[in-house]
Amino acid sequence: MKFKKFGNKWVVRIDKGEEVIQTIKKICEDNKIKLSSLSGIGAANRVTVGLFNTKSKQYQSRELIGDYEITNLSGNISTMNGEIYLHLHIGLSDSKYNAYGGHLTSAIISGTGEIIIEEIDGEIERGFNKEVGLNLLFK
Ligand code: FE
């Protein structure tokens, strides 16, 4: 991974074999980025996407293995119990240009990942909401 800061924006390159969430989390922890929006593109070959079932309040997930373009990676960074918390969604396309997507659990970069983190000067803590079953922004 490589990154450079310009103003309140961080330009990040994630390299082949690196996992997206772990890599971004490490950058945020090392540089005390506690609140931000994020967007990116790239290529990945092992991705776990999820869907939150609002009735059961559980995530169902699926692992996608093969060549995928990351057509869009977007989300935000906040904190929960003082720890960096990433909430990312991903869009992918395969060799037949079919699209897949969902809540991102894990993605291994196969080519490169190009991410822009836009830092916000502040901090927002998440809290678990029992009624929804999710960790919501603003405790
Ligand atoms: Fe989500």
Question: What are the start-end ranges of the E strands in the chain?
Answer: 2-6, 9-15, 36-53, 58-80, 83-93, 99-119, 126-129, 134-137
Q: Which CATH class is domain 2-129?
A: alpha beta
Q: State in Å: Cα 135 to ligand 1 middle.
A: 10
Q: State in Å: Cα 88 to ligand 1 middle.
A: 6
Domain ranges across the chain:
2-129
What secondary structure letter does DSSP report for 19?
A: B
Average pLDDT, the chain: 98
Which residues are CB-contacts of 112 (< 8 A; sequence separation ≥ 6)? 13, 14, 15, 16, 42, 43
Query: What average pLDDT does the segment 105-131 reach?
Result: 98
Query: What average pLDDT does the segment 34-38 reach?
Result: 98
The pTM score is 0.96
